[in-house]
A and B are shown apart, each in its own frame.
Chain A
Amino acid sequence: MRPASDARAAPWLARVPAALPAPAFARVRGALFVLALVPCARLIWLAATDWLGANPVEFVVRSLGTWTLVLLCITLAVTPLRWATGWAWVVRLRRMFGLFTFFYATLHFLAVAGIDLAFDWPAIVKDIAKRPFITVGFAAYVLLIPLAATSTNAMVRALGGRNWQRLHRLVYVIALLAIVHYWWHKAGKNDFAQPTVYALIIGLLLGIRLVRWVKARRSAL
């Protein structure tokens, strides 16, 4: 846990204030908001210009799945980043990244259910029930819904900070389900290079929390 003032390790770190003035924060958040929309805009552009390749549906579904996972990793990285740098303001970006995770997960689900299966509900239900990798992916998506629904300040107040936090720990379960979903998707072809990368990142982000939790418990005893 390196404090922000450790200028010897990385001099530029020292220049980032732990508390960011409101206008600067708004600019950072605005830039990240636009950046998070780029993958979606790219797909729309590729579709409009007929550049989605030989199998457009597969391309769109997989791209949206990958970006859901990327945004989930970014969301989970916010708190460890704060611990490592002391930047308190990054935590205020977490909700936006969380909601973008939900946004891409929703598009991913709609691409499968709506575009690939043309909203053929019996086929969709059958897929979810019959195929473990889809069951797990769908479960992860369903669990995201209460988190997105309780993301407003009013909902935090209504639930109370403690309950809200307890509920939002579901994201750890979601992260594990997402990895299992991706892993099983690739399992048939023993092609684990990419799932491994994401599993390591998620493992690291959850591991940091676990270590911190264990340490806190020890020092409390």
Chain B
Amino acid sequence: MPMTRNSSSAPRDIAPSEITPRGVWLRRRELLQAAAAAGLAVAAPRGSAQPADARKLPAKPGPYSTMEKPTPYKLITEYVNFYEFGTEKDDPAKYAPKLLRTRPWTVRVEGEVKKPRTFDIEELLKLAPLEDRVYRLRCVEAWSAVVPWVGYPLAELIKRVEPTGNAKFVEFTTLADPKQMPGLRSPVIDWPYTEGLRLDEAMHPLTLLTFGLYGEVLPNQNGAPVRIVVPWKYGFKSAKSIVRIRFVEKQPLNSWQKSAPNEYGFYSNVNPTRDHPRWSQATERRLGEDGLFSRRRPTLMFNGYAEQVASLYAGMDLQKFY
């Protein structure tokens, strides 16, 4: 396990108080791995440890991690919106593990770039060093979670394909294969699912090209084999199971904006002062922590990442550009 105690890549604005607990986070993985290994040694016959190991995704600790308690793996992987597998929260966990094939997998990168090309997933995995990053996730439905993702900044990929001067926006397309995705039978969305970011948002160091969670390969229902994570925006902006990344000059329409323009905008930044037409966005419930009788917790502007991203929207009316 490459367990480099790294802080050189951390930006300067990270408080020293955040460094130590990250060490705790690191040791915890170590302990977990040791425990898992011991468990396997006892429980499993010789040589059968391979499948569990194959899911491991070694990474170094990355910057920007929150110290909040990560949401249990079970909840993150069982309470999921991924409409390609059905609209109920438990549909993706029911169908994606069996139906979605994540190998072979390619991602086409095209549009306003000097070096358009198709990446194989294995190549993408090795493009830049993987990092562990614990991010808050705020769903537009007013629930939230804390997820330890594994990935690297999307900027690493973007730099390599060299966007032209015309590239102002980036559009992400999710796989849409009716054979693997039973949810495509219902016209909830104009499939395939597409999402978009402004180029500067896509280049922001918080924006993560993501391959895993909890130190392992992404479970299929969480957007395997590759997705993006944009932690200051509502969860639906973080497109899953991506097959195409296109650089464009005009602001693309994202799927939810197309289907309900009065409810979902292009930016979809987490904003407690800008309510959804059908519910308030001022507060949220944290999965696994906020029980039946606990109070809702306040939602933070930009999901608590204002210090990092507020400057991207300087001078913009965020009530209008929601």
Contact = CB atoms under 8 A, between A and B. Distances in A.
Interface of A: 47, 52-58, 60, 115-118, 123, 126-127, 130-131, 133-134, 184-185, 187-191, 193
A190 B295 CA distance: 30
17 contacts: A53-B78, A54-B75, A54-B143, A54-B288, A57-B285, A58-B143, A123-B280, A133-B278, A184-B278, A188-B264, A188-B278, A189-B83, A189-B259, A190-B187, A190-B188, A191-B87, A193-B186
Interface in B246-276: 259-260, 263-264, 275-276
A193 B291 CA distance: 29
B322 interface: no
B78 A54 contact: yes
Nearest to B188: A190
Contacts of B187: 190
Interface centre among B275, B277, B278 (most CB of A within 10 A): B278
Contacts of A133: 278
- Tell me the dominant secondary structure on chain B's binding face: loop
A99 B287 CA distance: 34
Given A55-B285, A123-B280, A127-B279, 10 more contacts: A52-B292, A54-B287, A56-B292, A57-B285, A58-B285, A117-B296, A127-B280, A131-B278, A191-B87, A193-B87
Contacts of A118: 295-296
Nearest to A47: B292
B79 A55 contact: yes
B189 A190 contact: yes
Contact of B143 (A55, A115, A189, A193): A55
Contact of A185 (B259, B264, B278, B291): B278
Contact of B89 (A52, A54, A134, A185): A54
A191 B263 CA distance: 14
B292 A57 contact: yes
Contacts of B189: 190
A53 B143 CA distance: 13
Contacts, number: 65
A118 B294 CA distance: 8
Contact of A60 (B83, B279, B292, B296): B292
A188 B279 CA distance: 11
A53 to B, nearest CB: 7
B91 to A, nearest CB: 11
Contacts of A47: 292
A54 B259 CA distance: 27
B277 A131 contact: yes
A178 to B, nearest CB: 16
A188 B143 CA distance: 17
Q: Which 3 A-B pairs have the closest CB atoms?
A: A54-B79, A54-B75, A54-B287
A116 B79 contact: no
Interface centre among A115, A185, A190 (most CB of B within 10 A): A190
A184 B87 CA distance: 16
Given A55-B287, A133-B278, A115 B293 contact: yes
B200 to A, nearest CB: 29
Contacts of B288: 54
Contact of B296 (A56, A116, A127, A190): A116
Contacts of A116: 296
Contacts of B89: 53-55
Interface string B71-92: 0000100110001000101000
Contact of A189 (B188, B291, B296): B188
Given A56-B291, A60-B292, A190 B75 contact: no
Contacts of A123: 280
A115 B292 contact: yes
A136 to B, nearest CB: 11
Interface in B174-198: 186-189
A185 B291 CA distance: 23
Contacts of B275: 130
Interface centre among A47, A52, A130, A188 (most CB of B within 10 A): A188
B255 to A, nearest CB: 10
Contacts of A184: 278
A95 to B, nearest CB: 32
Contact of B260 (A55, A190, A193): A190
Contacts of B279: 127, 131
A168 to B, nearest CB: 31
Contacts of B277: 131, 188
